[in-house]
């Protein structure tokens, strides 16, 4: 499945190429065709599965279509074509960024955000001018509607992103008021982790004959990826574990993640000296070189790529058999993005995490986020000398437990070991 096969406008396909996307994600492949056909949708799929593009590409398609219409004189021409409601300011900003990224080749695209916590002035100016896409949090938009500054009579598409969170935050009446100010003939796309209970009732109110799209949940998404966790006593031990794993025969191609650009360069140098065909990839490198490195990976000239999270986002190389977390991610979501680089195109993959004691706080957060324990593993002759730190809160189920819910009262609070163990001083060559 390609983006071209989704029949997207050439301007959008070009922007996706520029973003380094090679193929639609599952939710994009399933949601975009009915969205382009004008259907109302109820969509659930896991975090990081690319939901933003699954509504923003159809939204930009509406904007492109409106560009070829003759301008209608009068007030009807005012107000956005597309409104995206999000629960938080941060999410609104992210969605706005996606709108400008995916819409970078849409001529004269006008995107505005209306969120709380910032002055009204600039927002009022944006609302007065011509506008294609408005991204808003419900509370602030209500203020502007009340004062007659926001007009939604021209709306073609309404998107509710993270609807369950908006309802949890008490926005239900605001959402109702906002939708009442929009044309009944609009297209509506609603995104939520669940459509049970009050979210489902809101969906019934707002959507017409909706199509339900459910892409595998957070816990099921990586059935074809085996995960392993190795505890390392210190940095030297971690390097020894990595070296051992990379010499295994079943490593077709390995993607090794580091926490920083500096570590990526340092580790790639070290592995190069050991005789591996290896390169680093990070945001500090010029785009041309990054493209050549990726080309080298695709053509299998490179067996090992050492990368940072940002640089590895768009990588889709089906022959990556191993993802190795040499440095842990800053955010638990990134763990899911990382391991998703293997186990692609129906193949199986192995995701190995090498952690020192100071990483146990992040390991705990990752396990809570994925609601899975990463199975522990050891390598003969390289077993850790120190006992494994507690990877989960006291009071949580000991093994295979899915729930990391509230601890029983009186339970000892979980303290991430990362706060108490200093990184063993290991000299690295100055660069
Ligand atoms: P969600 O809303 O489902 O949590 P996002 O829309 O925020 O996910 O996307 C998560 C990440 O995946 C973003 O960094 C985005 O740039 C990236 N992404 C989205 N679609 C693709 C794709 N088709 N190929 C590669 N990366 C993608
Ligand atoms: Mg999202």
Task: For residues 42 and 48, give the distance between their C-alpha atoms in angstroms, rounded to a whole number.
Answer: 17
CATH topology of domain 225-411: Rossmann fold (3.40.50)
| pLDDT exceeds cutoff 70 at 402 | no
Task: For residues 228 and 354, give the distance between their C-alpha atoms in angstroms, rounded to a whole number.
Answer: 9
Is beta strand 304-307 parallel, antiparallel or unpaired with respect to 320-325? Answer: unpaired
* Ligand closest in space to the Cα of 53: 1
Task: Find all residues with CB under 8 Å of 339, minimum gap 6, and list them.
Answer: 222, 225, 227, 323, 349, 351
- Distance between Cα 45 and ligand 1 center (Å): 12
Residues near ligand 1 with C-beta < 6 Å?
21, 24-25, 28, 47-53, 313-314
Task: For residues 369 and 249, give the distance between their C-alpha atoms in angstroms, rounded to a whole number.
Answer: 32
| pLDDT exceeds cutoff 50 at 398 | no
Domains 4-215 and 225-411 equal at CATH topology level: yes
- Ligand 1: which residue has its CA nearest to atom 2? 51
| pLDDT exceeds cutoff 60 at 164 | yes
| pLDDT exceeds cutoff 60 at 18 | yes
Q: What angle do CA 194, 197, 200 make, to 5 degrees?
A: 65
What are the extents of the domains in the chain?
4-215, 225-411
The number of the ligand 1 atom at minimal distance from the alpha carbon of 49 is: 3
- Distance between Cα 159 and ligand 2 center (Å): 12
Indicate the class that CATH gives domain 4-215: alpha beta
- Say which residue the tokens 């509406």 belong to: 62
The mean of the pLDDT values for the chain is 84
- State which of 25, 49, 50, 312 you would mutate to test the pocket of ligand 1, scoring each by most atoms of that ligand within 8 A of its C-beta: 50
pLDDT digits (tens, 9 = 90+) for 206-236: 999 999 999 874 443 444 789 999 999 999 9
* Ligand closest in space to the Cα of 44: 1
| pLDDT exceeds cutoff 80 at 411 | no
- Distance between Cα 52 and ligand 2 center (Å): 5
- Distance between Cα 97 and ligand 1 center (Å): 12
- Say which residue the tokens 């190995």 belong to: 352
Hey, CA dihedral for 211, 216, 217, 218, is it positive or negative? negative
pLDDT digits (tens, 9 = 90+) for 141-155: 999 988 888 889 999
Instruction: Look up residue 22 and give its two tokens.
Output: 């090679």
Which pLDDT belongs to residue 73? Answer: 54
pLDDT digits (tens, 9 = 90+) for 40-96: 999 998 777 889 999 999 999 999 998 877 665 544 457 899 999 998 887 898 899
Which pLDDT belongs to residue 418? Answer: 30
Task: Find all residues with CB under 8 Å of 249, minimum gap 6, and list them.
Answer: none
Residues composing the chain: 431
- Distance between Cα 296 and ligand 2 center (Å): 32
| pLDDT exceeds cutoff 70 at 21 | yes
64 three-state secondary structure? helix
- Ligand 1: which residue has its CA nearest to atom 1? 48
């Amino acid at each position: 499945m390609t983006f071209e096969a989704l029949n997207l406008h050439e301007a959008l396909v070009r922007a996706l190429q520029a973003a380094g996307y090679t193929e639609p994600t599952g939710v994009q492949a399933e949601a975009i065709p009915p969205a382009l056909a004008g259907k109302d949708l109820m969509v659930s799929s896991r975090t990081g599965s690319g939901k933003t593009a699954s509504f923003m590409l159809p939204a930009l398609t509406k904007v492109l279509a409106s560009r070829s219409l003759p301008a209608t004189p009068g007030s009807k021409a005012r107000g956005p074509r597309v409104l995206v409601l999000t629960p938080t300011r941060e999410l609104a900003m992210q969605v706005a960024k996606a709108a400008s990224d995916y819409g970078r080749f849409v001529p004269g695209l006008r995107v505005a955000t209306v969120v709380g916590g910032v002055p009204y002035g600039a927002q009022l100016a944006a609302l007065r001018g011509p506008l294609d896409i408005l991204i808003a949090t419900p509370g602030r938009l209500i203020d502007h509607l009340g004062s007659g500054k926001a007009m939604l009579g021209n709306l073609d598409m309404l998107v509710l992103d993270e609807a369950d969170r908006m309802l949890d935050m008490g926005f239900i009446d605001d959402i109702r008021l906002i939708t009442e100010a929009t044309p009944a003939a609009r297209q509506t796309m609603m995104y939520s982790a669940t459509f049970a209970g009050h979210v489902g009732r809101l969906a019934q109110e707002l959507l017409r004959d909706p199509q339900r799209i459910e892409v595998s949940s957070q816990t099921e998404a990586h059935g074809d990826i085996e995960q392993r966790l190795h505890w390392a006593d210190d940095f030297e031990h971690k390097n020894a574990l990595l070296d051992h794993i990379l010499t295994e025969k079943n490593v077709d191609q390995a993607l090794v993640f580091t926490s920083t650009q500096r570590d990526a360069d340092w580790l790639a140098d070290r592995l190069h000296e050991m005789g591996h065909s290896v390169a680093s990839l990070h945001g500090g490198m010029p785009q041309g070189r990054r493209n050549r490195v990726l080309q080298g990976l695709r053509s299998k000239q490179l067996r090992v790529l050492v990368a940072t999270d940002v640089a590895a986002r768009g990588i889709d190389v089906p022959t990556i058999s191993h993802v190795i977390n040499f440095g842990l991610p800053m955010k638990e979501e990134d763990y899911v993005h990382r391991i998703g680089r293997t186990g692609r195109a129906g193949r199986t993959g192995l995701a190995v995490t090498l952690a020192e004691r100071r990483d146990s706080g992040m390991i705990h957060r990752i396990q809570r986020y994925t609601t899975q324990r990463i199975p522990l593993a050891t390598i003969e002759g390289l077993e850790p000398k120190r006992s494994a730190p507690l990877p989960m809160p006291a009071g949580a189920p000991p093994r295979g437990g899915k729930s990391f819910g509230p601890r029983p009262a009186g339970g000892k609070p979980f303290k991430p070991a990362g706060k108490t163990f200093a990184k063993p001083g290991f000299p690295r060559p100055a660069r």
